[in-house]
Amino acid sequence: MKKKVKNGNRYCPICGHKLQKYGLTKDGSQKWHCLYCHNYIKIGKNHKKKQKIKLWLFKYFEYLTHSKKMSEYGCHRSTFWRNTKIFKNKNIFIPELRDRHLVIYLDGLRVNKKTYLIASNGKHVIGFCLVDYESSNNWRNFLKNFNEPEYVVCDGQNGLIKAIKSVWFNTKIQRCLFHVWMNIRQKLTLNPETQAGQELLNLSRQLLKIKSIEQANNWQFKFKIWKNKYYEFISQKSVNAETGEIWFTHARLRSAAFNLGKLILNKTLFNFLDNCGVKSMNNVLEGGINSPIRHLLNCHRGTNFTGQQKIVEIYLLKRSMFWNKISMLLNSEKPTFFAT
């Protein structure tokens, strides 16, 4: 039962009347006596200790998840780190809940020389894992912690695509259209020298504006016309007269065209049109989570890798549905590899 305190005075939790000091207990705790109901109340040291830990806990989280300077917390930096060092070795994780999601957004975030695999359902972060790199085995082990969704939105990383096909057999893959556009732009540049490159660049830019099945079919028809028109052009080859080496003259243009053709053949460009709850881009993770984390890491630059881990993991937990249970989660001994 909580003790009532008002204006520095303590009041009885039973009858509500003012308490009077009544000496100390054997362990040195203050003992109180109620003159109205004659109850003796002991307020131990643990209560004050818990309040102090809770205060520094939220100061620590606020420091890691905001861009405030150390001087804004009203204490010396050595005092701050002395009182918050007990949280550095705590495990940060998201509890396991085997819910089935309509769509899962997946992406990797590189931190120092490690990579965080992150999963979101569009509203909350539902799982994360720290690995060495984005290999198919690491992605496969991560995906096994989730029930199979209907859709997956991702950037098309090779290891991730391979893992999805080997773990979730019936899941439809939606390639992030912004990443598709960025890949095409990287190959063609923004000022292609050839007429074929200019037309393909304009055609790939239109991918970002597609909102209906009719527009998608129209786009695929235009791409088919472009491919038939410039098939001989992108098939041209050059030969080195001295060494006899042969290569495609317009290799980057040919690569961009065949990448788009492969995405159409695999049916991974327009799956978002089948369900209004699925987005065509991976902005939920790229702009909504990865970008703020990079900003925080930049604000706390100079922090060692352990500190960077805490910044990333606490922010990911803050974006989950379990942020209000932070104290309970920190006292658990479960590892950091968990997903809901």
- Tokens 């940060």: give the residue: 92
Helix (H) or strand (E) holding 51: helix 45-65
- Tokens 């809901």: give the residue: 340
pLDDT of 27 reads: 65
Can you say whether residue 149 is alpha, beta or left, with left for phi > 0 and alpha for psi between -120 and 50 degrees?
Answer: beta
Q: Where are the alpha helices (DSSP H) in 168-250?
A: 177-188, 195-205, 213-229, 231-234
Q: What residue spans define the domains of the chain? A: 4-43, 103-285
Picking from 8, 10, 66, 5, the residue whose alpha carbon sits closest to that of residue 35 is 10
Q: State how beta strands 151-154 and 103-111 pair.
A: parallel
pLDDT of 80 reads: 83
Instruction: Enter the tokens of residue 315.
Output: 């922010």
Helix (H) or strand (E) holding 124: none
What does the alpha-carbon distance between residue 223 and residue 229 come to, in Å, rounded to a whole number?
10
pLDDT of 44 reads: 55
Helix (H) or strand (E) holding 23: strand 19-24
pLDDT of 21 reads: 81
Helix (H) or strand (E) holding 206: none
Residues of the chain short of pLDDT 70, as ranges, are: 1-9, 13-14, 26-28, 41-51, 325-340
CB contact burial 281-305 (16+ within 10 A = b; e otherwise): bbbbbbeebbeebeebbeeeeebee
What does the alpha-carbon distance between residue 47 and residue 44 come to, in Å, rounded to a whole number?
6
Contact 254, 233 (CB under 8 A): no
Query: Looking at this protein, which amino acid is placed at residue 263?
Result: L
Helix (H) or strand (E) holding 101: none
> pTM for the complete prediction?
0.78
pLDDT of 85 reads: 79
Q: Does domain 4-43 have CATH number 3.90.1530?
A: no
Query: Looking at this protein, which amino acid is placed at residue 123?
Result: K
What does the alpha-carbon distance between residue 187 and residue 185 come to, in Å, rounded to a whole number?
5
What does the alpha-carbon distance between residue 337 and residue 128 come to, in Å, rounded to a whole number?
7
What does the alpha-carbon distance between residue 281 and residue 178 come to, in Å, rounded to a whole number?
6
Contact 99, 287 (CB under 8 A): no
Q: Where are the alpha helices (DSSP H) in the chain?
A: 45-65, 77-84, 136-143, 158-167, 177-188, 195-205, 213-229, 231-234, 251-266, 283-285, 291-299, 305-318, 326-330
What does the alpha-carbon distance between residue 127 and residue 97 come to, in Å, rounded to a whole number?
10
